Amino acid sequence: GEDVEQSLFLSVREGDSSVINCTYTDSSSTYLYWYKQEPGAGLQLLTYIFSNMDMKQDQRLTVLLNKKDKHLSLRIADTQTGDSAIYFCAESHSSASKIIFGSGTRLSIRP
């Protein structure tokens, strides 16, 4: 079946790195995504990774994929107050545009 799991909360100090983890069950997943949802807003795609990659870096964001363990992580370097949001891990596979979302991780920043 399809299942994507994340921890619900993460609190980090401003300036530290944040690491948000996700596990998924569908071994046929070929795209894995990270979306960001700010309060009162819709979801915004942050980054995505193909299943044949194990790492992708985009400025302060680093995505790591361990396909064997079906584990995806998002690292945000030098976390800022503007990074406060809910971060959703998601996956899709050969089933066209259907995306399965995790429950979201609420990231809060301490001064």
Partner 1 sequence: DTAVSQTPKYLVTQMGNDKSIKCEQNLGHDTMYWYKQDSKKFLKIMFSYNNKELIINETVPNRFSPKSPDKAHLNLHINSLELGDSAVYFCASSQDHTQGAEQYFGPGTRLTVT
Would you give the binding string for partner 1 spanning residues 10-29, x where CB under 8 A is met? --------------------
Considering only the stretches 10-18, 43-51, 55-63, 71-79, report the one whose residues sit in contact with partner 1 under the rule CB under 8 A. Answer: 43-51
The Cα–Cα gap between 34 and 20 comes to 10
Among 87, 76, 75, smallest CA distance to 38 is for 87
Residue closer to partner 1, measured from CB, 45 or 77: 45
**Is 78 strand, coil or helix?**
coil
The Cα–Cα gap between 82 and 35 comes to 15
Would you give the binding string for partner 1 spanning residues 72-101, x where CB under 8 A is met? --------------x-x---xxxxxxxx-x
Instruction: Say which residues have a Cβ less than 8 Å from residue 42's Cβ, sequence separation at least 6.
Output: none
Name the site residues for partner 1 (rule: CB under 8 A).
Answer: 30-31, 37, 40-45, 48, 50, 86, 88, 92-99, 101, 103-104, 106
